[in-house]
Amino acid sequence: DAGVIQSPRHEVTEMGQEVTLRCKPISGHDYLFWYRQTMMRGLELLIYFNNNVPIDDSGMPEDRFSAKMPNASFSTLKIQPSEPRDSAVYFCASSPGTSGGAIQETQYFGPGTRLLVL
Amino acid sequence: SQQGEEDPQALSIQEGENATMNCSYKTSINNLQWYRQNSGRGLVHLILIRSNEREKHSGRLRVTLDTSKKSSSLLITASRAADTASYFCATDANDYKLSFGAGTTVTVRA
């Protein structure tokens, strides 16, 4: 398996622009997670999905952030409008869930998208 | 919010030495996991220990869990330069949602 795929790997944009981050989880995984990592706040869970349904979005900073999972193989995280304080590395991770047996809770991370908002 | 807190924040050791880092957490857990992050990369799962387990081994890694003290330790034996990375503990309260600590940065000197 190719692992979790994220695109783009790097994004530089100007304040006020819309940013869309994409994620393809590992095939067969039931859970998908979006995280944000900064030096100041560490690794924060933004939202996670189970079988394409959002379960907990309490970590989403504000209404400017939205996430969707239209099918089992694709998810997007959108920031509109973007602000300089959104600059961070955004990770997508997936987990087998109940189909994973002994490793059901293990999370597999993508390489991340490094976002810089000027 | 971060539940797991690692100690120390940073660790520098000579190749071949052992590295030990600790993790403390606040609330009851179903399992505790350790992840490694190399600079500029995503996190990689190392080991998972369940709340009813006390010790687990995987290659050069040894993890302990003391639920009475709400703490865990990760020992890397015979360290190598390739072990240079940040190490994170993460707790799972039985809902597949992980709460990560701030991490321990380990530098292995050749």
Using one digit for the tens of pLDDT, what is the confidence trace for A68-113?
999 999 999 999 999 999 999 999 999 988 766 656 789 999 999 9
Quick check: B41 and A4 CB within 8 A?
no
- Which of A21, A40, A43 is the best residue to mutate to test the B interface, defined by the most B CB atoms within 10 Å of its own CB? A43
Quick check: B41 and A93 CB within 8 A?
no
pLDDT at residue number B1: 46
Quick check: A56 and B102 CB within 8 A?
no
Instruction: Enumerate the β-bridge partners of residue B20.
Output: B75
User: In chain B, what percentage of residues exceed pLDDT 70?
Assistant: 96
What is the token pair recorded at A25?
């989880």
pLDDT at residue number B22: 96
Of A42, A43, A95, the CB nearest to B96: A95
B53 contact residues in A (CB cutoff 8 A): none
pLDDT at residue number B76: 97
Query: d(Cα A109, Cα B45) in Å, to the nearest integer?
Result: 9
pLDDT, one tens digit per residue, over B2-43 is: 567 888 999 999 999 999 999 999 989 999 999 999 999 999
Tokens 């973007």 belong to residue: A82
pLDDT at residue number A102: 58
A95 contact residues in B (CB cutoff 8 A): 96
Q: A1 pLDDT band (50/70/90 cuts)?
A: low
pLDDT at residue number A19: 98
Q: Are strands B10-14 and B5-7 parallel, antiparallel or unpaired?
A: unpaired
A109 contact residues in B (CB cutoff 8 A): 35, 42-44
Q: B96 pLDDT band (50/70/90 cuts)?
A: confident
Does pLDDT of B78 surpass 70?
A: yes
pLDDT at residue number A100: 60
pLDDT, one tens digit per residue, over A31-79 is: 999 999 999 999 999 999 999 999 999 999 889 999 999 999 999 999 9
Tokens 């703490």 belong to residue: B71
What is the token pair recorded at B42?
């995503």
Task: Give backbone dihedrals phi and psi of A63, rounded to 5 degrees, phi first.
Answer: -65, -15
Question: How far is A42 from chain B, CA to nearest CA, in Å?
Answer: 6
